[in-house]
Chain A
Amino acid sequence: MTTATLTQEVTYLDAISQALDEEMSRDERVFLMGEDIGAYGGAFKVTEGFLKKYGEWRVLDTPLSESGFVGAAIGAAMMGLRPVVEMQFADFISCAFDQITEVAAKNHYRWGAAVPLVIRAPFGGGVHGGPFHSECPEGWFFHSPGLKIVAPSTPYDAKGLLKAAIRDPNPVLYFEHKFLYRRIKATLPQEDYIVPLGKAEVKRPGRDVSLITYGAMVHLALEAAELLVKEGIDLEVVDLRTLIPLDKETIYASVRKTSKVILLHEDNKTGGIGAEISALLAEDCFDCLDGPILRIAPPDTPVPFSTPLEEFFLPKVSDIVAGAKKLAAY
């Protein structure tokens, strides 16, 4: 954080709006596309008032066609504009999968065309959204070379990472967590800042066990860390912030320090980000591990709707506490 004059507290959602507003004011190439983002201001009101301020050619309400408008954003980006596309819910990104993975991700590699595009995708559960309004689809794209992926956990990072994403010359998927929208607040610096892509942050230094996570799970981990103090376990919490490019340096430094690691995410367990980091640690940090690599993630089911089912599905503070105690015993 900087020492600039602090303004009043803003929510995670406000931070996203501020980033969009400031980037649109700063750079006339930046424009928005998505469903219901104009007169309605977006399903979550991230772009409330934008239509009036910037007009219908910089805030475009699109037909219900994710593949079509992501494709159009790719075309506009290649012509020198800086489109920011909103998925109404991250779940709907599956409709645009082909445009993202085959066109946006491969254009530069194949024939040298840069695609400076941002796709904002409100993701995650805990909001009773059910199987089509709660998904964490980042794993699908984590496997596609040519994309950058970010997932902020705080208002500061939400703003700084979005600005960095908009200024990046590559396609960036920006996963914003719906559960955090209005639940967390922070005071942000008044002056322009970015959070560089590819840099993780140690959110809470600790000696005994490393917990590596991102998105809303960061807050769960910090809560668990406080409980673990009473157990005499000092948990280090690493917030990845960017999934691609992955900050291996920060991950490895943490694991080399604690020798024990928990990988926590809200995406399904199989083939998730945790699986990849687990493999990296086995390859590169095997000699420093004093216990098994532990993954805490939802079961391999869709995100269920009913409250007891969703509560069962999502990782809990108690899972982290139990996991850390198990590892600390090694």
Chain B
Amino acid sequence: MDVSVIANEIKRGDLLDMYYYLRLTRSLEDRISALYRQGRIVGGVYTSHGMEAIAVGYASALRPDDVIAPFHRDMGAFLIRGFSPGEIIAQYLGKQGGPTKGKDGNVHMGDLKRGMIGFVSHLADNMPVAAGAALAFKIRGESRVAFAGTGDGGTSRGDFHEAMNFAAVRRLPVVFFCTNNQYAYSTPVRYQMAITDVVERAKAYGMPGEIVDGNDVAAVYLASKRAIAKARAGEGPTFLECKTMRMHGHSEHDAAKYVPRELLEEWKTKDPILRAERLVTQLGYGDASYFREVGERAKKEVDAGAEFAEQSPLPEGRETLVGVFATEDEVHP
């Protein structure tokens, strides 16, 4: 993307914030992966390694009162919405300090007060849910927007199509995105669909779509801004296909030997953090020492988070029985 366009369209502070969140995401997830290798974390660890620009880009483009139904590789969105590294590590450790207090693990967390809809493993399940959030905004005449994503594999599910169709029919203020990271667990896109670009699916629903360079945080941010502005203006939903590459296994237990090494080598050079650093340098907003400083700041926050999570107690076994049903005071206003 033309650097002068970015200079005009993205505020310096916003771009530097995004760079910081890229670093914080990487630093946090690297720590979580390390904890996994030490046997400290049970269950899945699904990282956004090499894909951090997508969540950081779109979450930065939203207003705080908009809602997000994230894909499971959208750690940056949680951080931007104010989930602290401590809360997140506690969530992975099944501690009380995590947002779900041990009821669920890893990226399966949410908080309506911070506009985050809890991730459901059944991919694309939250796409109709996000359409429904957008429906509520439309019914009440609010200018809020819902932003919801899934992966390339998730677009094979019926809920993806039912959500796309319903949102388009009712012109709902929702933006759907697909993190096309080329593999759904071990299944490459060519066994998932008979098309090359997921964005083609949008046409069938009468919905505008756009292919976005998912490793370029500025591109994701600007494409999201455009789609969000349209949704807010009552012009209906948009579909964004963010092309990227999953650089780790499906979960950290998975060595991903089914992915050709050359493909990973190629995408290593497109790393979103390197890309952002190049951009920041070109714009004259920062240099190597600045990058080092931001990296240290991120690491410090993650260190403090790890400390918080260590100190956080495990839940009592009997907490299992709490919370199956809601009480009236818990209904979101």
B299 contacts A by Cβ under 8 Å: no
A169 contacts B by Cβ under 8 Å: yes
Partner of B100, one of A79, A110, A114, A169: A110
Closest to B320 in A: A109
Contact pattern, A 54-83, Cβ under 8 Å of B = 1, otherwise 0: 000110101101011111111111111101
Contact check, B325 vs A111: say whether CB atoms are below 8 A apart.
Answer: no
B267 contacts A by Cβ under 8 Å: no
Contact pattern, A 106-119, Cβ under 8 Å of B = 1, otherwise 0: 01111111111000
B139 contacts A by Cβ under 8 Å: yes
Contact check, A67 vs B139: say whether CB atoms are below 8 A apart.
Answer: no
CB distance from B119 to the nearest CB of A (A): 9
Given A57-B138, A79-B332, A80-B333; A146-B324 close (CB under 8 Å): yes
Closest to A66 in B: B162
Partner of B131, one of A71, A80, A108, A116: A71
Give complex CA distance A99, B134 in Å: 17
Most buried by A among B118, B126, B325: B325
A27 contacts B by Cβ under 8 Å: no
Contact check, B323 vs A113: say whether CB atoms are below 8 A apart.
Answer: no
Chain B residues whose CB sits within 8 angstroms of the CB of A148 once the complex forms: 325
Chain B residues whose CB sits within 8 angstroms of the CB of A57 once the complex forms: 138-139
Closest to B164 in A: A68
Contact check, A145 vs B324: say whether CB atoms are below 8 A apart.
Answer: yes
Given A75-B146, A98-B122; A114-B332 close (CB under 8 Å): yes
Q: Which of B103-111, B225-233, B277-285, B308-316 contacts A (4 or more CB under 8 A)?
A: B103-111
Partner of A109, one of B103, B139, B165: B103
CB distance from A38 to the nearest CB of B (A): 13
Most buried by B among A74, A78, A107: A78
Chain B residues whose CB sits within 8 angstroms of the CB of A123 once the complex forms: none
Q: Which of A126-147 contact B (CB under 8 A)?
A: 145-146
Contact check, A169 vs B331: say whether CB atoms are below 8 A apart.
Answer: yes
Contact check, B331 vs A63: say whether CB atoms are below 8 A apart.
Answer: no
Give complex CA distance A111, B105 in Å: 10
Contact check, B132 vs A76: say whether CB atoms are below 8 A apart.
Answer: yes
Contact check, B109 vs A111: say whether CB atoms are below 8 A apart.
Answer: yes
Contact check, A108 vs B330: say whether CB atoms are below 8 A apart.
Answer: yes
A170 contacts B by Cβ under 8 Å: yes
Give complex CA distance A98, B8 in Å: 46
Contact check, B129 vs A111: say whether CB atoms are below 8 A apart.
Answer: no
B117 contacts A by Cβ under 8 Å: yes
Q: Which of B57-111 contact A (CB under 8 A)?
A: 67, 99-100, 103-104, 108-111
Chain A residues whose CB sits within 8 angstroms of the CB of B170 once the complex forms: 60
Contact pattern, A 208-234, Cβ under 8 Å of B = 1, otherwise 0: 000000000000000000000000000
Give complex CA distance A148, B324 in Å: 11
Contact check, B122 vs A102: say whether CB atoms are below 8 A apart.
Answer: yes
CB distance from A206 to the nearest CB of B (A): 33
B163 contacts A by Cβ under 8 Å: yes
Chain B residues whose CB sits within 8 angstroms of the CB of A80 once the complex forms: 136, 331-333
Partner of B129, one of A78, A109, A110: A78
B135 contacts A by Cβ under 8 Å: yes
A89 contacts B by Cβ under 8 Å: no
A181 contacts B by Cβ under 8 Å: no
Chain A residues whose CB sits within 8 angstroms of the CB of B130 once the complex forms: 75
A174 contacts B by Cβ under 8 Å: no
A275 contacts B by Cβ under 8 Å: no
Partner of A62, one of B110, B129, B137, B166: B166
Closest to A79 in B: B136
Chain A residues whose CB sits within 8 angstroms of the CB of B255 once the complex forms: none
Closest to A168 in B: B328
Chain B residues whose CB sits within 8 angstroms of the CB of A170 once the complex forms: 325-326
Given A76-B133, A81-B136, A102-B120; A114-B326 close (CB under 8 Å): yes
Give complex CA distance A261, B253 in Å: 53
A103 contacts B by Cβ under 8 Å: yes
Contact check, B132 vs A71: say whether CB atoms are below 8 A apart.
Answer: yes
Give complex CA distance A74, B162 in Å: 14
Give complex CA distance A83, B128 in Å: 14
Contact check, A112 vs B323: say whether CB atoms are below 8 A apart.
Answer: yes
Chain B residues whose CB sits within 8 angstroms of the CB of A60 once the complex forms: 170
Contact check, A63 vs B330: say whether CB atoms are below 8 A apart.
Answer: no
| 8 shortest interchain CB distances as A-B pairs | A75-B132, A71-B128, A68-B162, A72-B132, A114-B326, A79-B136, A111-B118, A75-B129
- Chain A interface (Cβ within 8 Å of chain B)? 31, 57-58, 60, 62-63, 65, 67-81, 83, 98-99, 102-103, 107-116, 145-146, 148, 169-170
Of the A-B pairs whose beta carbons lie under 8 Å apart in the complex, a sample of 12, sorted by A's number, is A68-B159, A68-B165, A69-B166, A71-B126, A71-B131, A71-B159, A78-B129, A79-B332, A80-B332, A103-B125, A110-B104, A113-B110
User: With A71-B126, A76-B139, A78-B132 given, can you name 20 additional A-B contacts, CB distance below 8 Å?
Assistant: A62-B166, A67-B159, A68-B162, A71-B127, A73-B132, A74-B132, A75-B134, A75-B135, A76-B136, A80-B333, A99-B128, A99-B129, A102-B125, A109-B103, A111-B111, A113-B110, A113-B118, A169-B326, A169-B327, A169-B328
- Chain B interface (Cβ within 8 Å of chain A)? 67, 99-100, 103-104, 108-112, 117-118, 120, 122, 125-140, 146, 158-159, 162-163, 165-166, 169-170, 323-328, 330-333
